[in-house]
């Protein structure tokens, strides 16, 4: 039975991996079509900086960019280049998009990494404690307070933290910590609530009741329950990456961090189509990776699913 469960897990993972390219094509295709519905194209954006471009030079520019070709062939060409990590040049300053991404990505990754550690590090013990002391008045009050925190708009929290003296435009990990804390807040509350619910549920399960009947102390029971209660939290983490990236736009804007979120904001304002396409693609790849990582982590937490054959 163990082997069969293991096998099915591996098969599910393999199927997921097979679908990754299909999902990526879908996401980029939607973005591509969406951005090409923009009024005006790369040629008019470029011409905007050099006034009085003649229709002939516009046509020549369109030919250079391949904009006179049908959309599907433009997409195919873009896909081919992107597969070699060549995302073209920014329409604004002509800098290769790849270089721009290489500069912004570490900032957002550091921010997301810090936020994930903070959210997880606080939420798991907090959720477990709230679940364990569910009958106490202070635990109930804390749960209610979490409810209130969850409802706060991210922009307001970030502005308040900035006002309280957090550094603006930080370049070190330590300096980014307050920004990461703002980013982590909503996720932390969400995870803590799940964790609390899971612990309450597990503590009522038969195996914990049995453990206690056999004389295990209450703390031993929690240790038993925590492991199982951790699973939904781990799965959740992978699925939360898109939300984290979204929230990152606000946090980066408020804290003056030049990450992917700020870059996306600028790219929309300047209609930098190649840059926006690349950002969406990178975000999608990161999200897919997160979901897959959660699948693997799920297997690590649950010993029944731990890869024997894998």
Q: Site residues (CB under 8 A) for other proteins?
A: 19, 22-23, 26-27, 30-31, 34-35, 37-39, 144, 147-148, 150-156, 159-160, 162-163, 239, 241-243, 245-247, 249-250, 253-254, 261, 264-265, 268, 271, 276, 279-280, 283-284, 287-288
In whole angstroms, the minimum distance from the beta carbon of 22 to other proteins comes to 6
Task: Choose between 3 and 144: whose C-beta lies nearer to other proteins.
Answer: 144
Q: Which two tokens stand for residue 203?
A: 């503590």
d(CA 90, CA 97): 6
199, burial (CB in 10 Å: exposed 0-12, middle 13-18, buried 19+): buried
Rg (CA), the chain: 24
Per DSSP, the residues of 55-119 read: HHHHHHHHHHHTTTS-HHHHHHHHHHHHHTT---B-TTT--BHHHHHHHHHHHHHHHHHHHHHHH
In whole angstroms, the minimum distance from the beta carbon of 217 to other proteins comes to 26
In whole angstroms, the minimum distance from the beta carbon of 31 to other proteins comes to 7
Would you give the DSSP letter of residue 89? B
Residues in the chain: 310
d(CA 91, CA 1): 57
Q: Which two tokens stand for residue 283?
A: 């975000």
In whole angstroms, the minimum distance from the beta carbon of 51 to other proteins comes to 21
Task: Choose between 27 and 293: whose C-beta lies nearer to other proteins.
Answer: 27
In whole angstroms, the minimum distance from the beta carbon of 97 to other proteins comes to 15
In whole angstroms, the minimum distance from the beta carbon of 310 to other proteins comes to 23
Task: Choose between 28 and 46: whose C-beta lies nearer to other proteins.
Answer: 28
Task: Choose between 60 and 282: whose C-beta lies nearer to other proteins.
Answer: 282
Task: Choose between 261 and 299: whose C-beta lies nearer to other proteins.
Answer: 261
d(CA 32, CA 233): 34
Task: Choose between 27 and 231: whose C-beta lies nearer to other proteins.
Answer: 27
Closest CA to 286 of 35, 109, 103, 25: 109
């Amino acid at each position: 039975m163990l082997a069969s469960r293991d096998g099915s897990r591996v098969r599910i993972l393999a199927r997921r991996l097979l679908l990754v390219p299909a999902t990526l094509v879908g996401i980029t295709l939607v973005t591509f079509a969406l951005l090409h519905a923009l009024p005006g194209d790369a040629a008019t954006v470029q011409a905007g900086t050099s006034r009085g471009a003649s229709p002939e030079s516009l046509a020549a520019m369109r030919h250079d960019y391949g904009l006179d070709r049908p959309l599907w062939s433009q997409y195919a060409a873009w896909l081919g280049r992107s597969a070699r990590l060549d995302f073209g040049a920014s329409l604004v300053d002509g800098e290769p998009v790849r270089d721009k991404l290489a500069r912004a990505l570490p900032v957002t990754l550091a921010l997301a990494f810090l936020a994930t550690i903070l959210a997880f590090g606080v939420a798991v013990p907090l959720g477990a404690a709230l679940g364990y002391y569910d009958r106490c008045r202070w635990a109930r009050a804390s749960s209610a307070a979490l409810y209130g925190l969850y409802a706060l708009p991210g922009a307001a929290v970030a502005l308040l933290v900035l006002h309280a003296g957090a550094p603006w435009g930080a370049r070190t990990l330590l300096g980014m910590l307050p920004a990461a804390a703002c980013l982590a807040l909503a996720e932390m509350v969400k995870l803590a609530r799940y964790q609390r619910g899971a612990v309450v549920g597990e503590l009522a399960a038969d195996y914990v009741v049995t453990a206690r009947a056999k004389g295990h102390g209450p703390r031993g029971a929690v240790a038993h329950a925590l492991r199982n209660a951790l699973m939904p939290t781990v799965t959740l983490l992978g699925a939360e990456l898109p939300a984290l990236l979204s929230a990152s736009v606000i946090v980066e804007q408020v804290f003056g961090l030049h990450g992917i979120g700020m870059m996306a904001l600028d790219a929309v304002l300047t209609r930098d189509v190649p840059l926006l396409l690349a950002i969406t693609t990178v975000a999608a790849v990161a999200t897919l990776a997160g979901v897959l990582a959660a699948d693997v982590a799920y297997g690590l937490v649950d010993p029944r699913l731990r890869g024997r054959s894998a």
